[in-house]
Amino acid sequence: MEAVGAIVALLFVLFLVLGVYATVKAVRAAKRGVDRTIMEARRTVEDTTLRARSFAQVGSAGELAQLRLSLRTSMRATQDVLQAGAAEDASLKETLELFDRLSVHGHELDDELRRLERDPDKAALAERLPELRERTEQIKKAADSLRWSARDRARRFANDDLDSLSTQIDMEAGALRHWTTEPSSTDRPPAAWPEPEPEPEGGKGAEQTWSEPSGSARRAAQEPTQPAITPPTARAPYPWEKKAKPESTT
C-alpha cells in the first residue's frame, strides 16, 4: 500500500509540474502576442504621425519627419523579406546577420532624428541636415541592396524550378501520347523490289536474279512438277484384233 501511495503522489506531482509549465508557456505566448500587437499599433501610429508631419510642416521639422519615415519604411521592408526568406533558404541567415548589424545604425539614427525634432535651435538643425540626410541615404541604400538581392535570389530559384518542372511535364505528356509516334500499317511504304545483280564481265546478258527464296519456296522448287492433267497411256490390244502385217519391202 505504501508503494501505491508513493506512485500516486509522484504522478500527482508530475501532473502538477506539467500543468504549471503549460500555464507559464501559455502566459508567455499571450504576453508576446500582446507585446507584438502593442508594438505594431504604436508603430502604425508613429508612422501615421510622421507622414502627417512631413506633409504639414515645412522647413527642417518637415524634412526630419520625412527622413525618419523613409528610413523606417526601408528597414521594415528589408526585415520582412529577409525573415521570410531565411525560413526557406539557409543562405540568407548570414544576410540576416548583416542586416541586424545595419539595424543598430538605423535605430541610432532614428533615435537621433527623434530627439532633433524637439530641438528648439532651428539654425543648428539646418546645419546638421546635410550630414543626417547622407547617413539616412547610406543606410537606406544598404538595406535596399540586401532586400533586392534576396528577392532576386528567390525569383531565380523559382524560375529554375519552373523550368525544370515544365521540362518534366513535357516529357510526361510525350510519354502519355506515345501512340502518335508509331506509324500505322496503312502509312507504311510498300517493300521495295530487290535490285538486279550486276552483269559479270565477259559474259552474255545476265538474267535478273532475285533474292534467295525462303525454305518453303526452296522445297517447292526442288520437287518435280506434275502436269495438271495426266497424259494418256498406250492401250493394251484386244485378242480379237488382227495383228498388223508388216509392209513388203519388194
pLDDT in tens, 146-170: 999 888 888 887 888 888 888 888 8
C-alpha closest to that of 82 among 94, 72, 71:
94
* Contact predicate 67/104, CB 8 Å: no
DSSP codes of every residue in 133-163: HHHHHHHHHHHHHHHHHHHHHHHHHHHHHHH
Say if residue 242's pLDDT is above 60.
no
Say how far apart CA 224 and CA 155 lie, in whole Å.
Answer: 85
List the beta strands (DSSP E) in 87-246. Answer: none
243 vs 49: which has the higher pLDDT: 49
* Contact predicate 69/50, CB 8 Å: yes
pLDDT in tens, 98-150: 999 999 999 999 999 888 888 888 788 888 889 999 999 999 999 999 999 88
